[in-house]
Amino acid sequence: MIPITKRFLLVDDDPLSNYITKIILKKSIDGVHINEFTIPEDGLEFIKSEPSQNPPDGKTILFLDINMPTMSGWEYLEEFELFDASIKEKYNIYILSSSLDPSDINRAKANPLVIDYIEKPLNKETLLKIFG
C-alpha cells in the first residue's frame, strides 16, 4: 500500500468507471476517503458547499472525466475556475478519460488547472507515479 492518507473526488458519469477507480484507490492507499459524482453539477455543488471538508494533511485529488452528457470536463473546469482561490488551491485536478484524441490530451496538459492527463482505467502504477 501507498503510505499516505488522501481525499479523492471522482467526477465521471460512468458508475462502472467510478467503481473501478474506487477499488484501485482503496487497494492502493490506506485511509483513503472518496466522494463520487455521476452528475458533474453535483460535484461542483459539493466543492462549493464543502470547503471545510478538505483534509489538513494535503490536497484533494479530483479525477475528472471529459465526455459527460450534461456538462463536459472542459465546462466543469470553466466553472471551477470561477471559484475563490482559497477553494481552488485545495484541489489537484487530473483528467481521467478514455479519450485517446490528441487534442483532448494536449488541451488537458495546456490547462493550468490540470496537473496531468491519465488514461482510463486508473492503475496502481499510475498512482505511484502521481504520489512518487
pLDDT at residue 58 in the model:
75
Distance, CA of 91 to CA of 115 (rounded, Å):
10
Distance, CA of 41 to CA of 76 (rounded, Å):
8
Q: Indicate the pTM of the whole model.
A: 0.92
pLDDT at residue 49 in the model:
87
- Per-residue pLDDT of 54-106, as tens digits, reads 555 578 999 999 999 999 999 999 999 999 998 899 999 999 999 999 999 99
- Cβ–Cβ contacts within 10 Å for residue 12, how many? 26
Which listed CATH number (3.40.50.2000, 3.65.10.10, 3.40.50.2300, 3.40.47.10) goes with 7-131? 3.40.50.2300
- For the chain, domain boundaries: 7-131
